[in-house]
Structure formats: structure tokens, C-alpha cells
Amino acid sequence: MARKSITKRIRITKKGKLARRARGLSHTRTNKKTNQLMRRRGGRNLVMSAKNINKFL
């Protein structure tokens, strides 16, 4: 059984890596500095062991 909270937030790339969105981009962006927002662009790679990947997905 997949953990729905995890499966909604990550995706598996073509090469089998786990990717997620950077935190802090959904709302209250006006209070954040431009450099903070620029650093958060793009995705992040998740590092998990195979045991944990199978447990959550």
C-alpha cells in the first residue's frame, strides 16, 4: 500500500531517481528575498535507501 502523502509530493524520473519540489514556493513569496526564491527554482533530488523507497511507494 502506497503512502498517499509521499506519492503526491514526489515523482520518479526516467533514470529512477526521486524528485520533489523545493519548499517555500507556494505562498507568502513577497516576504522572501529574491535570492531565496531563485535558489529554490527547479527540483530537488531525494536520497533514500531502496528499503525506504519500497516502504513509501
Question: Residue 2 above 80 pLDDT?
Answer: no
Per the model's pLDDT, the better-predicted residue between 2 and 41 turns out to be 41
Dihedral through CA 18, CA 23, CA 26, CA 30, nearest 10? Answer: -150
Strands (E), 1-57: 10-12, 18-21, 43-46
Instruction: Domains for the chain: give ranges and CATH numbers.
Output: 4-56 (4.10.410)
**Coil, helix or strand at residue 44:** strand
The predicted model scores a pTM of 0.60
- The per-residue pLDDT for range 11-50, each reduced to its tens digit, is 888 888 888 888 888 888 889 999 989 988 888 888 877 7
DSSP 4-44: HHHHTTEEE-TTS-EEEEPSS-SS-GGGS-HHHHHHT-SEE
